[in-house]
Amino acid sequence: MKTYLFVAAACMSACLSCRDNGRHTEGPSAPEVTGHENEIVISPENAEMAGIKVSTINPGTFKTTVRTSGTVISSETTITAASSGIISWDGNIPAKGLEVTGGQTVGHVSGKYTAGGDEAEKAAITYKKAAKEYDRARELHRSHIISDRELESAEAEFRMAESAYESVSARSSAKGVAIVVPASGRIAGILKGEGEYVTAGEAVASMTKNGSMRLRADLPEKYARLRDSVVEADFRLAYCDGLLHAGRRISAAGSMGASPYISVTFDLPDNDGILPGSHADVWLVTGSREDVISVPQSALTEEQGEYFVYLRKDVDCYVKTHVTVGGFNGDAVEILSGLHGGEQVVTEGAYQVKLSSARVIPGHSHEH
């Protein structure tokens, strides 16, 4: 805070006309200012401390966009019980939003005190019985007592029992059969509470998988003709810095439905730190135009509905310039008049330059 106050004071005490040929006059009274009234002097040292940065602005490509809103969504999957019985979350029910990894155990299902009995024990008994029947069938087949079809049937029963036993036994412990997370992601909801009865294959929780996020944007009905032109999108989130870029367009609704919007969905391959359900400000890109002068939004200052930028004329001289603005694509603002290209425009710290022009120092002028 102390640094900011020092910089602001230094900027506000700057002289309001620019050095041209180096001649400088001061007097005890306020002489006529012969410079331009919009000119501001800020030393390079003070400019650096204030975070003032300048870029040369030239005509270039400008994205044409439709501004709208959208939501970050994620395809959900379920975590299921591998056996029937009473569910236990091991004393700690997973919270919504909890990060989980594929293969992680989050609870157990035990059938010890249910009418159906323990699944692991039943699978073991069934497996042993099927193995014995299969061995017997092979002996009978070698003696030509049973047919090939009967041997194949016995083998099929054995293979199914073996698969079920291995699946359950691999997850089985004294606590019961483990509830295993199928993929890495975040818990979206709990469907079964502690102590509830579940059946084999029943969903006990839902989750969002990593890498499966999408941006769903709403194209207003009045822009329906542009539906097929929308191939990319930029968006902002309240908790992320800067403008983010969506990936390829996945789909666009073919009809309006009950809503006055057309749903357009984009992939989000780079979604680190983005949370499902987040609201987004979206700019749907419908095309581009060449030879357009544009500046970052941070370059603009506003006064009573009029817009201005600051041009750097030399190492310590800045000039306030009125501009007329056009479209905004989420990143840059189109300039319709006031700039011609090749100007050095303050793109960061424009507000600090504006502060420095808030006070005129009497008796201080530059001659041109």
Domain ranges in the chain? 2-59+293-366, 64-73+210-291, 82-201
Mean pLDDT of 222-233: 91
Tell me how many degrees the CA angle 248-73-256 measures, rounded to the nearest 5: 75
pLDDT of 358:
62
User: 272 pLDDT band (50/70/90 cuts)?
Assistant: confident
Mean pLDDT of 264-274: 84
User: 181 pLDDT band (50/70/90 cuts)?
Assistant: very high
Q: How far is it, in rounded angstroms, from Cα 317 to Cα 353?
A: 10
Mean pLDDT of 89-112: 88
Mean pLDDT of 118-131: 83
- What is the dihedral sign for C-alpha 41, 44, 46, 52? positive
pLDDT of 254:
72
Mean pLDDT of 144-165: 91
CATH second-level architecture of 64-73+210-291? Beta Barrel (2.40)
User: 257 pLDDT band (50/70/90 cuts)?
Assistant: low
pLDDT of 349:
94
User: 351 pLDDT band (50/70/90 cuts)?
Assistant: very high
Of 36-50, 68-82, 351-365, the range with the highest mean pLDDT is 68-82
Higher pLDDT, 208 or 323: 323
Mean pLDDT of 89-109: 89
pLDDT of 27:
39
pLDDT of 218:
93
pLDDT of 123:
80
- What is the dihedral sign for C-alpha 192, 193, 197, 201? positive
Higher pLDDT, 346 or 201: 346
Statement: residue 345 has pLDDT above 80: yes
User: 327 pLDDT band (50/70/90 cuts)?
Assistant: very high
pLDDT of 256:
65
Q: Which of 50-59, 145-154, 245-254, 346-355 has the lowest mean pLDDT?
A: 245-254
Higher pLDDT, 118 or 237: 237
CA distances to 26, 60, 136, 326 from 121, in Å: 100, 72, 23, 74
Average pLDDT, the chain: 83
Does the domain at residues 82-201 carry the CATH identifier 1.10.287.470?
yes
Higher pLDDT, 97 or 79: 79
pLDDT of 245:
93
Does the domain at residues 2-59+293-366 carry the CATH identifier 2.40.420.20?
yes
Mean pLDDT of 74-92: 87
